[in-house]
Amino acid sequence: MLTVLCGNVGTKWPDVWVHRLKQMVENNCSVPYRFKCVADHPIPGVDVTDSSSVRLDPDKPQGCWVKLDYFRRSVSGSGPCIALDLDTTLIGDIAPLQSGKLALAIDRKGRVNSSVMAWTPHAATEALYTKNIPYTEYPRGDQEYIRDSYPGVTKLAGCYSYKVDLTYGFSEMPEKAIVVYFHGTPTPAAKSVQKHDWNSRTWDGLNRQDREGAPSSEPVIEVIQAGPYHTRKQLRNIERKKYEYLYEHRNNPERMENGRFYYGMGKIRNKNTADVTRFWSGDGLVDVGCGRNEFIDRIKREQQESGKVHISGKMTGVDPTRVLARRGDVLTAFGHELPFPDKSVDFATCWDVIEHLIPGDDMLVLEEMERIARKAIAFSISSKTDSNNLHINLKPQSVWKQVVNQVFEGHRITYHAGPEIRTPVWVINLNAALCTGS
C-alpha cells in the first residue's frame, strides 16, 4: 500500500496545514494509501509518528532535516512512499508519482527540491538515514545532501515550482501538473496565490475553518525566531516575548493607549462571554490568559450593576506577559502551571487563548483548569487567522471538539456556536458526571 508522508516539527506550521494536506490527498489519490505525519506533538485525527522516537542522530537539526526520518523503515514501511511538504498544492492524481528509485521535484533550472519525493524503500534510501552528516556543508539543507548521497536521483514528472516553473503564477499551468511546490514565500495561503483558480479550488474542498486557519505568508510580528534546538520552555518564552514586544513597542495609532499597544475584548466577544457566565454563582474565579483583565473587570461591574452574577472570594487574572503584571491586578504565570491548589476556585475561564499556545500546551492548559476548578470551566478557541500571525496553534473546530471531548471525558460539555458568536464557546460542567455532548 502507498504511504503518504509529511512532517510538522516546531511551531512554523499550525496543525491546520496537516489537515489541509490530508484532505487534498483524499481528493487526489486514486489508489489505497495511508497518511502519516512525523511530528513532535499529537495531532487529533492524524496518524502521527513521534519525531523523537525515530531520531537516530541526536545532533541533527530539525527543520528540513526531519525529512531524513522518512527513510527509516519504521516510518515508511516497505511499500511505495510519497512525501509532501505542507506548503504544496495538489492539482491532480498523485498515484502516478510512485517510483521505485528515489525521485524528487526538479525545477526547470535543474535545482533539486525535497518538497516532493517518491521512492520505494531499499538499501540506498535507508542509507540516507544515518549519523554524522556534515550538516554545515549543505547550506540548502537536506535536498543537497540527498542529491549528493543518493546515486542517480531522478526527476518527478508533474511537479512544478511556483517561483521558478510558474514564474510566481504568471506562467500557464501545464495540463499534466500534479503538484505545485512553494519552498518559502509566498505560501498557498497568500492573497497573491489565492487569486489563481487552480489554487483556490483546492481550498474549496476544505471546510470554512480550514481555510480561515491558513496563516499569511508574511508575518507582521517576527521578533524572535524559533530555532531547531529550542526546548518547550524556550519556545514558551519566545512566544511570551512576542507579546511583551507588542505591548511595549507596537506602533499602531488605532490600538494605542497612553503611547502603548492596547489590547481589549471586542464588544461581540464581551457579549458572548457575558451570555455564558451571566448567572454563575460561586466562590472564586481564575481567568487564564487574561490580557488586561477585561473579563474580570466586567464581572465585577455586572455584580454591582445587575446583581445577576454572584461570585464571592477572589477573582484572579493570570497572564505570562510580565508587562501586564505592572497593572497590579494580573498574576504572572503560564497557563500550563497555574499557581493554585487543586479545586481551589469554583470557576476557571480562558477566552481566545488556546490558539496562541505552542502545540501540546493546549491540552495542558485545559487540564490545569480542570484541576483548579470545582464547578465549571468556560473557554473559547478561535480557528481564524489574526493580522499579526499570533495564532500559531490553529485547528478546525471539528478537531478542537475532539481535543475537548478527550480532556473532559465524563463531564457535561456544552458547545455554543452560531452567526452571532464571534468565537465558539465551550462550557464544562464539572459537577455532573454525564456523557459528553457537542
Instruction: Count the neighbouring beta carbons within 10 Å of the beta carbon of residue 234.
Output: 13
pLDDT at 62: 60
3-state secondary structure of 407: helix
| Strands 425-429 vs 373-380: parallel, antiparallel or unpaired | antiparallel
In whole angstroms, give the CA distance from residue 127 to residue 120: 13
Point out the least confidently predicted range of 45-54, 106-115, 342-351, 363-372.
45-54
| pLDDT for residue 221 is more than 60 | no
Kindly list the distances between the CA atom of residue 375 and the CA atoms of 165, 372, 404, 423, in Å, as whole numbers in the listed order.
59, 10, 17, 23
Its CATH architecture, for the domain 267-429, is 3-Layer(aba) Sandwich (3.40)
**pLDDT tens digits along 275-318:** 777 778 889 999 999 877 888 888 888 787 766 677 888 899 89
Whether the Cβ atoms of residue 90 and residue 24 lie closer than 8 Å to each other: yes
Q: What is the pLDDT of residue 418?
A: 67
List the one residue out of 438, 374, 373 whose CA is nearest residue 409.
Answer: 438
Architecture of domain 2-212: Alpha-Beta Complex (3.90)
In this predicted structure, the answer to whether residue 408 has a pLDDT above a threshold of 70 is yes
| 58-96: burial string, b at 16+ Cβ within 10 Å, e else | eebbbebbbbbbbbbeebbeeebbbbbbbbbbbbbebbe
pLDDT at 59: 62
Sketch the domain layout of the chain as residue ranges. 2-212, 267-429
Distance CA 69, CA 117 (A): 13
Q: What does the mean pLDDT of the chain come to?
A: 79
Residue 21 has a pLDDT of 92
The alpha carbon of 316 is separated from its chain's Cα centroid by a whole number of angstroms, namely: 29
Is 419 or 360 the better-scoring residue by pLDDT? 360
Nearest to 406 by CA among 43, 53, 47, 50: 43
User: Identity (one letter) of the amino acid at 146?
Assistant: I
> Closest Cα partner for 385 from 355, 358, 424?
355
Rounded to whole angstroms, the Cα distance separating 345 from 325 reads 21
Q: Which three cell numbers stand for residue 282?
A: 460561586
Question: Residue 114: which pLDDT band, with cuts at 50, 70 and 90?
Answer: very high
Q: Looking at residues 396-418, what average pLDDT do you find?
A: 88
All three cell numbers of 62: 530539525
pLDDT in tens, 230-279: 567 777 887 787 777 666 655 444 444 444 444 556 666 677 777 777 77
| Tens digits of residue pLDDT in 131-141 | 667 777 777 78
Segment among 8-22, 240-254, 335-349, 375-389 with least mean pLDDT:
240-254
Q: What percent of the chain has pLDDT over 70?
A: 77
pLDDT higher than threshold 80 for residue 57: no
This prediction's pTM: 0.51
pLDDT at 148 over 80: yes
Residue 290: per-residue pLDDT:
86
From the DSSP assignment, how many helices (H) and strands (E) are in the chain?
13, 19
205-214 pLDDT tens trace? 444 344 444 4
Which of 66-75, 187-196, 339-348, 391-400 has the least mean pLDDT? 187-196
In this predicted structure, what is the pLDDT of residue 253? 43
127 vs 250: which has the higher pLDDT = 127
Question: Which grid coordinates are listed for 422?
Answer: 464571534
Q: What is the pLDDT of residues 316-348, one digit of tens each?
A: 989 888 766 655 668 889 999 999 999 999 999
